[in-house]
Structure formats: structure tokens, C-alpha cells
Amino acid sequence: MRSYIFGFIGLVFAAQASALSLNDISQNQAGESLKTVLEQSTRLAVEQLSQPGGFNKNPDVHIELPGNLGKAARTMKMLGKGKQVTALEDSMNRAAEQAIPQAQELLLHAIKNMTISDAKGILTGPENSATAYLDRSSREQLRSRFLPVIEQVTRSSGLAQQYNNFAGQAANFGVIEAKDASIENYVAEQALDGLFTIIGEKEAAIRQDPAQAASDIAKKVFDLLR
């Protein structure tokens, strides 16, 4: 009984020591650790998605035709009549892959300018809270950088005009949402969703296994948060 009590007391002191260690981390350390993890996650995500097949071969981010057009496309593929659909989807995914490198500089700038108070609050949030912050603060600027690249790729494929004509008619009948009637806008949004999905996965992986963090202080901070 006596050893059980001492063991319990030891666990209590260990828990208190861990909490104190986390509280004792300076705001600068907390901010720098989060920025390090975000920079690491961003670079890895951009590298992964900008590779040939980065979107096309990843079911988590693969871009299909929107709404009911996507449902019809899947049926056409099953019936062996999806050659044109596949060509269009390939073009959409290639456009996203080529646009992704435009994101790195802007995202790294946003991370660098993150305030210390923002960083410390985000640290104790959900697994993808830092990614969600980047999404909120950077999506509009990223979209404006993505669109010219996507427009160039989709138009050079010769299929963009076909999509826009067909989708424009479909939007008039409510088959798809009006915002998806332009292939450029649709692919830009899907590319952004895919980018933040992968950054979020990288962030969550480091939170779950801090040994993956690139800096010692980030390893320490995220280990204490577990």
C-alpha cells in the first residue's frame, strides 16, 4: 500500500513538472517552434504536390469534375466512354500541380509574419489549427497567384473552352454551382483545398510524432503538448 501511494505521488509530481515545463516555455520559443513546423510542413507539401502525379495519383486531393458533372463522368468511365473526361481531368490535375510552386514564397512570408500571440494560441489548438490559420490568412492571395498558371495550362490543352461552354450551360440549369462554371476558378479552389489538406497532414504527423520536427525546440515544445 505504501509503495502504491509513493508511486501515485510520483506520477502527480511528474504531471506537474510537465505542465510547468510547458508553461515555462517563452513566447518566443513557442512562436519559433510553431513557425519551424509550419515551414517544414509547407515545404514538404509543395514538394509533394508539385511532382508529376502529385494531384492525379493521390486520391485525397485528386481533382474530378464538380457536382453532377463528376457523377456523370464516373458513370461514363464505367461504361468505357470516359476518354474525353479522363483527358480533361488529367489537364485539371496537371494545372494544379504546376500552380502549387507559386504558393511556397507567399506561405513562408505569412508564417514569418505570424505574431507570437497567434502562434502560442495555435499551439494548443487542434492538430490542423496552424494550417487553418494559413488557409484563412493566405487563400485569397494564393488564388490570385494560381489563376494565371491554371489558365495557361487548361487553355493550352484545348479542353478548357469545351468545359467552360458545357459547364456554363449546366450551371444555368442548376446542375453545378455557378462558381464551378469556370474551369480556372474550380481548379484553383481544388488546388488550394489539396494544398491545405497536405499541409494539415504534415502538421498533424509532427504533432503526433515530434521527433519528425526539424528543430530541437520544436521537438521539445510539441513533445510537451502531447
Q: Is the dihedral of CA 69, 74, 75, 79 positive or negative?
A: positive
What pLDDT, on the 0 to 100 scale, is given for residue 162?
A: 72
Domain coverage including residue 182? 27-225
What number is the average pLDDT over the span 29-37? 82
Is residue 7 in some structural domain? Answer: no
Q: Residue 26: count other Cβ atoms within 10 Å of its Cβ.
A: 11
Which comes out higher in pLDDT, residue 2 or 194? 194
Is residue 36 in some structural domain? Answer: yes
Task: Pick from 23-37, 68-82, 144-158, 174-188 the range whose average pLDDT is largest.
Answer: 144-158
Q: CB-based burial of residue 16 (10 Å sphere; 0-12 exposed, 13-18 middle, 19+ buried)?
A: exposed
Residue 61 gets which letter from DSSP?
A: T
Is residue 68 in some structural domain? Answer: yes
For the whole model, what pTM was predicted?
0.78
- In order of 21, 148, 208, 213, 221, the CA distances from 15 in angstroms are 10, 53, 19, 23, 15
Q: CB-based burial of residue 57 (10 Å sphere; 0-12 exposed, 13-18 middle, 19+ buried)?
A: exposed
Which comes out higher in pLDDT, residue 193 or 127? 193
> What are φ and ψ of residue 138, in 5° steps?
-125, -10
Give residues with Cβ within 8 angstroms of 61, minimum separation 6. 49, 54, 55, 190, 193, 194, 197, 198
**pLDDT value at 3 more than 60:** no
Is residue 3 in some structural domain? Answer: no
Is residue 9 in some structural domain? Answer: no
**pLDDT value at 15 more than 90:** no
Give residues with Cβ within 8 angstroms of 184, minimum separation 6. 147, 150, 151, 154, 160
- Contact (Cβ atoms closer than 8 angstroms) between residue 69 and residue 175: yes
Cβ burial 92-126 (10 Å sphere, 16+ → b, else e)? bbbbbbbbbebbbebbbebbeebebeebbebbeee
| Counted domains in the chain | 1
Is residue 50 in some structural domain? Answer: yes
Is residue 5 in some structural domain? Answer: no
State how far the Cα of 165 lies from the Cα of 150, in Å rounded to an integer: 17
Is residue 22 in some structural domain? Answer: no
